[in-house]
């Protein structure tokens, strides 16, 4: 089976830095990862299609190494001429890339660093990981941040320092546990927080409502209840859906109806926010001057459950605010649903990295570049 790229957003985001290096005569060796092969060579996670697409976008051939630090990588790195580009095979095929053992990770970093003379970190989507290519290699070579990372950090500073208010945050996605840290930190910074996606059902359950067979994290109910109380005390407006698209099954052709958010049938699961919620959320975004959005409002990949996410994207555009789409599924949704990326102030290439920055955490990849 020939694998194809369905979203080349992150590849395109890397082009300015690669082109800038080529124009200066650098021999560019690109390192990247795909999926979670867990230190094993798995053909379905090969970066060969990425090399082809990168070459198309750059308008030049990109040499592809069939390994990461082996014979193929060494040969191709040694043969590069000034201005040429090579891509190594998936970094995560090597167990040392993601190892928690400093010695194992360092040994792999030594071999990777030996292929180059300088390091430019531009993979913002991975800077929250203490991985060899992100954290250890820049500690072994002269290093600098690429244009993409510089842009991403500049945008995130606008969301955390001297924010133009009102400041609205839209959070969705499947699990509330993935967003606890950012909610905790934003309770003291945001003016209003809008909640949708699968994570909303834990909030609705915490308010005593029936959520049927919807996604639910019962172990987070107490935390969510505490956050709602803290928000009220701090004067932060929490906006929850007023209606839900509830289906009989997790399938695009499943029977579904719009029901009140506090009356989801016991035999149904919520797969999107409803139309009234989409209008409500858009209204709450209309007066904002800064908006950060991370996480879809429903299962946007299935057309019947894509309308809530579409409403949020359009709400950001119509708000006239400084709008940041926080990477991951939100960025994929923008492209999948056909929105013009230029209509948003910034579309991040790193969902997890953006969230951890907003949580106030130290990101290993950034700290390595700052040394």
129 marked as binding residue: yes
24 marked as binding residue: no
- Rounded to an integer, the average pLDDT of 289-318 is 97
214 marked as binding residue: no
Burial 257-293 (b: 16+ CB within 10 A, else e): eebebbebeeebbbbbbbeebbebbbebbeebebbbb
Query: Backbone phi, then psi, for 64, in 5-degree steps?
Result: -120, 120
Alpha-carbon span 276 to 297, nearest angstrom: 13
Alpha-carbon span 50 to 66, nearest angstrom: 13
The pLDDT tens digits for 18-41 are 999 999 999 999 999 999 999 999
Q: What does the pLDDT read at residue 371?
A: 76
Q: What does the pLDDT read at residue 162?
A: 84
* Residue 318 CB contacts under 8 Å (≥ 6 apart), including other chains: 282, 285, 286
CB 327 within 8 A of CB 353: yes
270 marked as binding residue: yes
Going by DSSP bridges, is the β-strand pair 192-195/237-239 parallel, antiparallel, or unpaired? Answer: parallel
- pTM higher than 0.75, yes or no? yes
- Looking at domain 8-145, its CATH class is alpha beta
At the second CATH level, the architecture of 154-359 is: 3-Layer(aba) Sandwich (3.40)
Domain ranges of the chain: 8-145, 154-359
Q: How far apart are the first and last CA of the chain?
A: 44
Q: Mean pLDDT over all residues of the chain?
A: 95
Q: What is the widest separation between alpha-carbon atoms in the chain?
A: 66
- Rounded to an integer, the average pLDDT of 90-104 is 98
Residue 343 has pLDDT above 70, yes or no: yes
Residue 238 has pLDDT above 80, yes or no: yes
Residue 194, H or E segment = strand 192-195
213 marked as binding residue: no
Query: Backbone phi, then psi, for 30, in 5-degree steps?
Result: -95, 130
Alpha-carbon span 344 to 364, nearest angstrom: 28
Percent of the chain with pLDDT over 90: 91
Q: What does the pLDDT read at residue 2?
A: 59
Alpha-carbon span 57 to 43, nearest angstrom: 23
Alpha-carbon span 280 to 95, nearest angstrom: 48
- Rounded to an integer, the average pLDDT of 43-68 is 97
The pLDDT tens digits for 223-234 are 999 999 999 999
Residue 1 has pLDDT above 80, yes or no: no
Active site residues: 10, 175, 328, 352
Confidence bin at 126 (pLDDT 50/70/90): very high
Q: What does the pLDDT read at residue 68?
A: 98
Confidence bin at 4 (pLDDT 50/70/90): confident
Residue 318 has pLDDT above 60, yes or no: yes
173 marked as binding residue: no
């Amino acid at each position: 089976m020939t694998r194809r790229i369905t979203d080349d957003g992150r590849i395109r985001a890397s082009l300015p830095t690669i082109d800038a290096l080529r124009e200066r005569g650098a021999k560019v060796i690109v390192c990247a990862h795909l999926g979670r092969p867990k230190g094993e060579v798995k053909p379905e996670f090969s970066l060969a299609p990425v090399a082809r697409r990168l070459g198309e976008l750059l308008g030049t051939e990109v040499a592809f190494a069939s390994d990461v630090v082996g014979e193929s990588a060494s040969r191709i790195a040694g043969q590069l001429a000034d201005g040429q580009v090579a891509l190594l095979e998936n970094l995560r095929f090597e167990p040392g890339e993601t190892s928690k053992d400093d010695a194992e990770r360092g040994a792999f970093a030594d071999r990777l660093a030996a292929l180059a003379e300088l390091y430019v970190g531009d993979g913002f989507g991975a800077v929250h990981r203490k991985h060899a290519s992100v954290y250890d290699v820049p500690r072994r070579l002269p290093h600098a941040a690429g244009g993409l990372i510089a842009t991403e950090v500049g945008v995130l500073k606008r969301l955390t320092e001297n924010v133009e208010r009102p400041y609205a945050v839209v959070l969705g996605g499947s699990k509330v546990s993935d967003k606890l840290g950012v909610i905790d930190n934003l309770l003291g910074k945001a003016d209003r927080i809008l909640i949708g996606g699968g994570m909303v059902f834990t909030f609705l359950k915490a308010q005593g409502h029936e959520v049927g067979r919807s996604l639910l994290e019962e172990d987070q109910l107490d935390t969510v209840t505490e956050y709602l109380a803290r928000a009220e005390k701090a004067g932060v407006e929490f906006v929850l859906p007023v209606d839900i698209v509830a289906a009989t099954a997790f399938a695009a052709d499943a029977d579904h109806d719009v029901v009140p958010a506090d009356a989801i049938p016991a035999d149904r699961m919520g797969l999107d926010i409803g139309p009234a919620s989409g209008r409500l959320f858009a209204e709450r975004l209309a007066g904002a001057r800064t908006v950060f959005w991370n996480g879809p409002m429903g299962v946007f990949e299935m057309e019947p459950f894509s309308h809530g996410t579409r409403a949020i994207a359009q709400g950001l555009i119509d708000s006239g605010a400084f709008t940041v789409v926080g990477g991951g599924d939100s960025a994929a949704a923008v492209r999948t649903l056909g929105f013009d990326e230029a209509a948003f102030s910034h579309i991040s290439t790193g969902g997890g990295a953006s969230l951890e920055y907003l949580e106030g955490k130290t990101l290993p990849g950034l700290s390595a570049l700052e040394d």
